[in-house]
Amino acid sequence: MRAKPWGTEAELLARLRAGDETAFAALVADLHGRLVGLAGTFTSSPPLAEDIVQETWLAVIRGLGAFEGRSSLRTWVFSILVRRARTMAVREARRGIPVTGSESRNGDGFVEWSPGLGRIGLWEETPIPWGFEDPAAIHQSREALEVVRIALAGLPVAKRQVVLLRDVEDVTARDVCNILDLSETNQRVLLHRGRARIRRALDRYVREGARPPSPTGADGTSPLTMPELDVAFNEVAGPKHGSGTTSGGTP
């Protein structure tokens, strides 16, 4: 993890409890944008997302004294946000403000993977290696990361929340379950489903230069040149195996 200006989390917490406003300012600087991102998964209304974050911070300020440190500070703050967001989003939904439903965007033709189903819902055609000489080529490519960002933003809500917390924010799987109030099994399934869709978007991008449609409906529909990947992507590296053998489909 990144080095924090205040050293360990215990030190930070002690300073927060002592009313140290520079520690609090550092906490806000670190978490505010992340909270806005997480709040944005609960509502498509940016002002409501801001309200959720504001309420979360007020609850954090009031609750610091009673916080026992059983979870990490960040997990605690995320949990507060999720509780607030659920309450506030429901309240706002009654007044007609759009709320993202649990799996509201599921009508996109994907078959959902579940444990025991094998490759169904994960891949139709045998996966072909991307052929990067350097595995870091993907995450060093700004364009590939943009593909990932758009694909993440386009995930149905429950998957997006799990992937955002586990893979983007690096929250432990156990804490993801606690924050979102999910069973361990549900968390695993949602995580694999979400990752599978993002892998699919990356696969299309790497092999065809295609970007996923942006959920905002703006840019992102036209294939772009990919100078970074042209260098890194070696087209002949992957043998095109198994047109007849549907490996992954047979028990």
| Least distance in angstroms from the C-beta of 128 to other proteins | 7
- How many Å apart are CA 68 and CA 63, to the nearest integer? 10
| Least distance in angstroms from the C-beta of 251 to other proteins | 5
Residue (90 or 247) nearer to other proteins, CB: 247
| Least distance in angstroms from the C-beta of 190 to other proteins | 10
Residue (81 or 148) nearer to other proteins, CB: 148
| Least distance in angstroms from the C-beta of 242 to other proteins | 6
SS3 state at 219? coil
Residue (47 or 101) nearer to other proteins, CB: 47
- How many Å apart are CA 247 and CA 251, to the nearest integer? 9
Q: Are 88 and 55 within 8 A, CB to CB? A: yes
Tokens describing residue 59: 């609850």
| Least distance in angstroms from the C-beta of 175 to other proteins | 13
Q: Are 127 and 203 within 8 A, CB to CB? A: yes
Interacting residue ranges for other proteins, rule: CB under 8 A: 19, 21, 24-26, 28-30, 32-34, 36-37, 54, 57-58, 61-62, 65, 115-119, 122-123, 126-130, 132, 135-136, 138-140, 144-145, 148-149, 152, 163, 167-168, 170, 173, 188, 191-192, 195-196, 198-199, 202-203, 238-239, 241-242, 247-251
Backbone angles phi, psi at 99, to 5 degrees: -120, 145
- DSSP for residue 155: S
- How many Å apart are CA 55 and CA 117, to the nearest integer? 42
